[in-house]
Structure 1
Amino acid sequence: MVTDVLALTGRWPLLLRLVNRLVDRKVRLGVPVGDAMRAASQRLRDAGPSATDTAGMDAAIAAQREEAVEATIEAAVDLLPPGGRDRYRELGVFAEDEAVPVTLVCQLWHTTASLPTDRSHELLTELAELALITVDPSNGGRLGLHDVHRDYLRRALSPAGLARVNAYLLDSVIAGLPTAAPLAVGTLGLRHAWWDIDDGYVLDHAVEHPVASRASSAAMAGTVAGSRKSALVDATQA
């Protein structure tokens, strides 16, 4: 059985870790180890590259890696509670190779699904246990996504879905901002005080997400008092 799993995963560490967590999760639900391993192997055979190649998965071939990862991720998300699949897909909105604040993820899920913070924390814990994300508890908690997982999530969302979730992310950030006073008489005003943001992730991607949301063709960025803090024109300001 172990030899079978190694062949089906191509001995790729990322995929082996996913399968290991998937098997462990089922075992903790009372499923015998052998049955859990057989179920994981069958999932890879049915939906992974081994469905057409009896030699197993070749980790050196990108297309085969994608098929195998997608099959394993789908098996893992089947164990999530209702709505968990959609919430996981929404994580694909975040920038590549970035540590995303857990608080920002909670804000996003509150906007997209009215998820309370404690429920968001529970879902993040489940995702981490399934090796679908990594979580660093320092600095208030930071979430990490392997680029292979992120690519899968973005494909699952589709361009229209990514634009929609980017808009929700923007709304979730705006909701926590104070109202801004006019910069000067006769100038185009900013309805929200973007310069009050102190979250490094939001500051670093303060142009990227509004542009990706396509929320407004008037979105623009500038610097405030010579700092890198971005002031974005409110999408609702005519």
Structure 2
Amino acid sequence: MESTVTLAGHVHYSFRKFKVDEFYIDVDYSSALNLNISAAVNAQYSTNLYNYNPLSVSVSAFTIPGIIDVGPMVNFGLGIEFAASGVVKASVDVVSTITDAQVHLDFLDSAKTSTTGWKPQTNVTTDITAQVELQLNPFADLTVALGVKLFNGLLDMSAGVEAKPQVVNVFAADFDFAYTSASGVTFAKPTEDQCKNGAWFASTFHLGVDAYVTQFYTKKLYEVDVPIYQSQCWNFVH
């Protein structure tokens, strides 16, 4: 994954009132994600969630002793939701780009927090070597945050934006296979008269963007499901 993140913000602290009157950050974000996931299973049934966090960085940007300590943080993780029944070898290749996303994150007023530009361009290819029941859902998880501690840590106003692109796939050899994704994505199965052999598949690209201010609010800024394959019969299964 290649990404560019730019942070800018403003904070106004009134010494007369002993309070923060204005506090916001603006995040500019662009990324190019290429995930290639392969899996092999030889079992009756298995279901797992794998996570890998290759990057976690935080720095202290500036401090006013006893009043405020501010530092940006970045966390990046990869993962797979996986469920299968039978013997299978499968791979999923995902290429997704976001060119110009922006977030305005207001620490004091959730109504002023907004976002634009989260329009992913995505291409997905899948290869399966067996007629089985399978769900193989790769995802990336990027969090850009600003750690903020006031009054020697008495008040935590850390805030951030989390973007999680995910491909949700299901390949079923019969109508009984059921596995739900943490993304909340569900698929409507074809009816039995549509798929006489009971085999069906579906795939969609899901992107969720959430903003949060610790102890104060969490707000969903953007969510989209882009169908890759609508639920349809798996015609080569006999």
Q: TM-score, normalised by structure 2?
A: 0.23
Which is strand-richer, 1 or 2?
Answer: 2
Q: TM-score, normalised by structure 1?
A: 0.23
